[in-house]
Structure 1
Amino acid sequence: MSSQDIPEENLPAEQATDEAHGAVAVKGEHDNPFADPGLPEHEHRIQDIDERAAKRSERVVAMLFTISMLATIGFIAAYLAIPVDKSIYVFPIGHISAMNFTLGLTLGVALFCIGAGAVHWARTLMSDVEVAQDRHPIEAEPETKAQVLSDFADGARESQLGRRKLIRNTMFGALALVPLSGVFLLGGLGPAPGTKLRHTAWKKGLKLVNMNTNLPLRPSDIAVGSLTFAKPEGLSEDAEDFQTVMAKAALMLVRIAPENIKDKRELAWSHEGIVAYSKICTHVGCPISLYEQQTHHVLCPCHQSTFDLSDGARVIFGPAGHALPQLHIGVNSEGYLEALSDFDEPVGPAFWERG
């Protein structure tokens, strides 16, 4: 039976439609969704047909490379000229190191401008002709290798690197200057600390001020088994160097019954069982904040170093290699707790024990 013998309403939609035009179509013959559509027709960019537009793009690329060079020079100048302890206020971050902020800003601009210049160069001036190439075995044939070298030569020619001398020279300048940033950084990691790491803000006569209330502490303010954090008198949280000072001067106070203190010097440096130790862990400098009342142990939350505050804050567990430094404290004529000296040794990681 031919299609002419089948009623039109029983034919497939595609076949019925084509029957009306005198032809029978097979479903899927002309609408294969997996057919290779081929490459679209190439559209020329404005820079390909207008040399003035190409010159504008060239100037933009050169400007970006020039900005990169200036930013690198600014990086070096900032590294040499800005004092390491200088701070500036940056909203909404707050007070930060002026040197770190400037170095990060200038280096970021230098690297960004090199990248932006290269991208703009590729998008506007380099060849954008679409090239399709069939897959081939991993090991290239001699003819393929020769073709690759030929394509490379064509790409070098089409990049117009030899023709666009302004781009070439400024690019080479930017790429040559950026590594100097690393050279200056490797030349020194900042000024030598001298004795700054060996001393803190604590000294004889400074009152111990409660970190929460900002009020001087009396012995009666510290109950047996409690943990209190303190800072040196006269140090404001609004000060530019507050974080820098507290990084070394952070203090924790614990009251232990005098008969439970095992270390004789610790007992002599305490007041009525109130002992004062650095809050900075001697492993990598994390702040200690966990206190176990029954055992008189304090725990560093970073790597679980544990110190016994009833026995000279010696290490009883964990990677810390040194006991916590103790602060010698007493009571002044007004009845407030005060420091009688600085810490007995440098706070934080035991750098001074490394030859």
Structure 2
Amino acid sequence: MPAEPIADPGIPAHLPRPTDVDPKAARRAERQVAAMFIASMLCAIGFAVAYYTFDIKDSWDTFLGFGASNLFLGLTLGFALLLIGVGVIQWSRKLMGDHEISELRHPAASAESDREKVLADLALGLEESGIARRPLVRNTLLGALGFLGVPAIVALNDLGPDATPSNIKKTLEKTFWKSGIRVVNDVTGRWIKASDMEIGQLVNAEPEGLVDAFDPRATAQQREDIESRSLEGAALQVAKTKSAVIVVRMEPKDISSATAAWAHEGIAVYSKICTHVGCPIALWEQQTHHLLCPCHQSTFDLADKGRVVFGPAARSLPQLPIEVDDEGYLVAKSDFLEPVGPSYWERDYK
């Protein structure tokens, strides 16, 4: 056996802990650890309660000047994690085996005998942890770890509304468009007049009411009507995302009869959202009437009802039925008659 590299520095004799010699102290420490794990479970439940209790919409609930929802979600989740950590530390300090061990550094490549010894040491460590002898600590720890799934599951609710048939009808299958809403430039908010569109032109557009700017030709009554339909915050951004369209003008003789039925003198309006994974598209090939998605190269024929001619998209680009009002401006006849954006498995194709 090799000699020790240094002499024994004179480490004092090991003193037993109170929990090593006093069964009452050991049971008291065990109850303390279990109490922390149980408190962690209660904090996880508190997270779910806070999530559903406090309002975060237009009129936020507050507590001591702070947003109550954020405050209590942070406190409950933080303490759920903290109490597990403190409980494990308390367990290791007071209840696990207390032996001072030193070992010389060995070569990086372990021999088979060393590996067997490591496995034996791990088994010994499990034995000395007392996890088998202390079911109260073990079971409450497992319970605390299991209850940490509660905040995670509850937070999944923020991914969006439940995909019930009624919610799908109100969200995925509905946009801001409806009969009589003008088609406006998505930057300036100006109304788009059919006679101003040139053959081969493409304009990015939105429904009137989702763009901050008003067309200067709008009357006071029209402005009031637009403001009454306007949205704010997240609802505005969601509506803009789903309602974005492109307006193109083609030679009437070049488009199919199905396309012409929802168009006006060669002017057609299509969803700007690719039906593959939802990328915005506006790469327009005037001569072929093809619209190309820059993300995965799905290509749609706008002269033939937005039919897919290339790429991974599984369905045609939705076309918006349009007409012109008494002043010659483009307006929607209705909302889209099929869902915009990526396909999804709940969609009823009948």
Say which SS state the counterpart of residue 241 (structure 1) adopts.
Answer: helix
Separation (CA, whole Å) in 2 of partners of 1:186 and 1:279 = 29
Q: Describe how 1:334-349 pairs up with structure 2 within 5 A.
A: 334-349=327-342
* Superposition map of 1:25-44 within 5 A: none
CA distance change for structure 1 residues 43 and 330 in 2, over 3 Å: closer, same or farther? Answer: farther
Q: Give the drift of 1:246.
A: 2.6
Maintained 8 Å contact 2:47/2:77: no
In structure 1, C-alpha distance between the alignment counterparts of 2:43 and 2:203, rounded to whole Å: 48
Q: 1:72 aligns with which of 44, 52, 57?
A: 44
1:245 corresponds to which letter in structure 2?
A
Which of residues 300, 309, 314 in structure 2 aligns to 1:316? 309
Over 3 Å counting, the alpha-carbon distance change for 1:81 and 1:334 in structure 2 is: farther
CA contact (8 A) 2:290 2:301 kept: yes
Cα deviation code 1:146-205 (max 9, x no counterpart): 665444323438xxx959x8x778645522422345676899972515212222221111
- Residues 239, 149 of structure 1: CA spacing in aligned structure 2 closer, same or farther, 3 A cutoff? closer
How far apart, in 1, do the equivalents of 2:287 and 2:99 lie? Answer: 75
Could you tell me how far apart the structure 2 residues matched to 1:354 and 1:41 are?
Answer: 82
Q: What is the letter of the counterpart of residue 252 of structure 1?
A: I
In structure 2, distance between residues paired with 1:255 and 1:103? 55
* Unmatched tracts of structure 1, length 5 or more: 1-34, 50-56, 91-97
Normalising to structure 1: TM-score of the pair?
0.64
Pairs within 5 Å for 1:102-113: 109=78, 112-113=81-82
How has the CA–CA distance of structure 1 residues 140 and 350 changed in structure 2, closer, same or farther, with 3 Å as cutoff? closer
Deviation at 1:66, TM superposition (A): 6.2
Asked if the contact 1:252/1:277 (under 8 Å) is kept, the reply is yes
Check conservation: 1:206, 1:339, Cα contact below 8 A. Answer: yes
Provide the C-alpha distance between the structure 2 equivalents of 1:203 and 1:344, rounded to a whole number of angstroms: 11
Per the normalisation by structure 2, the TM-score is 0.65
Cα distance change, pair 212–315 in 1 and its aligned pair in 2 (3 A): same
Aligned match of 2:126 in 135, 152, 155?
A: 152
Count of aligned positions: 303
Q: 1:203 aligns with which of 178, 184, 192?
A: 178
1:115-194 aligned within 5 A: 116-117=85-86, 120-121=89-90, 129-132=100-103, 135-137=110-112, 149-156=123-130, 171-181=141-151, 190=162, 192-194=164-166
Question: Is 1:244–2:238 an aligned residue pair?
Answer: yes
Cα distance in 2 for partners of 1:326, 1:64 equals 59
Structure index of larger Rg:
1
Tell me the alpha carbon deviations over residues 39-73 of structure 1, each in whole angstroms, 9 at most, x when there is no partner. Answer: 988799xxx79xxxxxxx99998897566434421
User: Are 2:201 and 1:226 aligned?
Assistant: yes
Identity of aligned residues (%): 39
- Say which is worse superposed, 290-299 or 171-180, in terms of deviation: 171-180
Q: What's the secondary structure of 2:130's corresponding residue?
A: helix
Secondary structure of 1:272 counterpart: coil
Which ranges of structure 2 fall in alignment gaps of 5 or more residues?
Answer: 19-28, 61-67, 211-229
Task: Name the structure 1 match of 2:251.
Answer: 257
What root-mean-square deviation, in Å, do the aligned CA atoms of Structure 1 and Structure 2 show?
5.0
Tell me, what secondary structure is at the counterpart of 1:203? coil
**Corresponding residue to 2:288 among 287, 295, 307:** 295
| 1:7 counterpart residue number | none
Checking the alignment, whether the CA contact within 8 Å between 1:65 and 1:113 is kept in structure 2 is no
Q: Secondary structure at the match of 2:287?
A: coil
Measured in 2, the distance between the counterparts of 1:89 and 1:291 equals 44
Amino acid at match of 2:294: P
* 1:225 aligned counterpart, secondary structure: coil
Whether the 8 Å CA contact 2:51–2:73 is kept in 1: the answer is no
Residue 117 of structure 1 aligns to which amino acid in structure 2? V
CA distance in 2, matches of 1:212, 1:79: 37
**C-alpha distance in structure 2 between counterparts of 1:162 and 1:320, whole Å:** 58
